[in-house]
Homo-oligomer: A and B are copies of this chain.
Amino acid sequence: MVDLMIKNSDETKVKSPKQAVSKLKNTIEKKTVFGTKNFNLWYGSHHALKDIQLDIKENDVTAIIGPSGCGKSTYIKALNRMVELVPIVKTSGEINYRGRNIFESSYEVEELRTKVGMVFQKPNPFPKSIYDNIAYGPRIHGIKNKKILDEIVEKSLRGAAIWDEVKDRLNQNAYGLSGGQQQRICIARCLAIEPDVILMDEPTSALDPISTLKVEELVQELKDNYSIIIVTHNMQQAARISDKTAFFLNGEVVEFDYTDKIFSTPRDGRTEDYISGRFG
């Protein structure tokens, strides 16, 4: 896979010296967060992910695009083993998180998930106060000290760029907020346990344009500290915010490369068809 990556980037038409340097740096220096090897996944007899090979690098924003039903959500949910909540799921192959196969039987899912946070398609705050929403993660992991919790809540809400909007009503129910605010609360909730990676499954698809913009900006800010993997059906969004893009089709990775490469000169005809809106 690493070979392939280098080959890919060789093929890329380098547009500017700066870009070239940054890409080279990426390939050489950036550590792999998630290494996916020959990964297959079945829902019962339905083969939803086929032989996935994909290396996701530290501090990148990686976008996953593809038409409905191609397996985007399935893949991202495999990364924190959320997909196992569906009882009929079977997998083969490996997904290595920081070098260790997460499907190893000794790997505790709870441990993995404290490292790999997730933001969902529909904002899903708990029907609790804003404060309790953010404090939920730290609390379940045994942090009870009120002062520390207060700090974590503030820091996370600031991190999710929503502190100013809610600081005066931390005790109100999170469902009183607008959809966009709710989604940022969910991001803040995720930040509260300071994960290493953040998975986002179409985080803006239920939001209005302005909220979408805010979340997109937030993603750009977060990438300094987190590795982010984002599923989106909005190609412009992928183009705007991601460093790399993977195009999924029918459970396969058709193409995975730098985002500008994918959107300017895709290697695969199907990628081109999809990007130009011929289907999906």
Using a CB–CB distance below 8 Å, which chain A residues touch chain B?
67-69, 206, 208-210, 212-213, 234-236, 276-280
Q: Can you list 6 A-B contacts (CB < 8 A)? A: A209-B279, A210-B279, A212-B279, A213-B279, A234-B277, A236-B276
A159 CB, min distance to chain B CBs, angstroms:
24
- The docked-state distance in angstroms from the alpha carbon of A48 to that of B69 is 32
- The docked-state distance in angstroms from the alpha carbon of A276 to that of B69 is 25
Contact A236 B67 (CB under 8 A): no
CB-contact partner of A209 in B208, B210, B234, B280, under 8 A: B280
Chain B residues near A206 (CB, 8 Å)? 68
Q: A213-B279, A279-B213 are in contact. Are A69 and B208 (CB under 8 A)?
A: yes
- The docked-state distance in angstroms from the alpha carbon of A235 to that of B276 is 11
* Those 9 A-B pairs whose CB atoms lie nearest each other, nearest first: A209-B279, A236-B277, A67-B209, A209-B280, A69-B208, A212-B279, A68-B208, A213-B279, A234-B277
Secondary structure at chain A's binding surface: helix, strand, loop or mixed? loop
Chain B residues near A236 (CB, 8 Å)? 276-278
Q: How many copies of this chain does one complex carry?
A: 2
Contact A235 B277 (CB under 8 A): yes
New contact pairs (14) apart from A67-B209, A236-B277, A236-B278, CB-CB < 8 Å: A67-B208, A68-B206, A68-B208, A69-B208, A209-B278, A209-B279, A209-B280, A210-B279, A212-B279, A213-B279, A234-B277, A234-B280, A235-B277, A236-B276
- The docked-state distance in angstroms from the alpha carbon of A212 to that of B277 is 12
Chain B residues near A277 (CB, 8 Å)? 234-236
Closest to A239 in B: B277
A71 CB, min distance to chain B CBs, angstroms:
13
A220 CB, min distance to chain B CBs, angstroms:
16
- The docked-state distance in angstroms from the alpha carbon of A271 to that of B276 is 19
- The docked-state distance in angstroms from the alpha carbon of A67 to that of B209 is 8
A112 CB, min distance to chain B CBs, angstroms:
32
Chain B residues near A278 (CB, 8 Å)? 209, 236
Closest to A279 in B: B209
A205 CB, min distance to chain B CBs, angstroms:
8
- The docked-state distance in angstroms from the alpha carbon of A210 to that of B68 is 12
Closest to A274 in B: B209
- Considering residues A234, A235, A280, which has the most beta carbons from chain B within 10 angstroms of its beta carbon? A280
A46 CB, min distance to chain B CBs, angstroms:
13
- The docked-state distance in angstroms from the alpha carbon of A277 to that of B208 is 13
A208 CB, min distance to chain B CBs, angstroms:
6
Closest to A249 in B: B209
Closest to A235 in B: B277
Chain B residues near A235 (CB, 8 Å)? 277
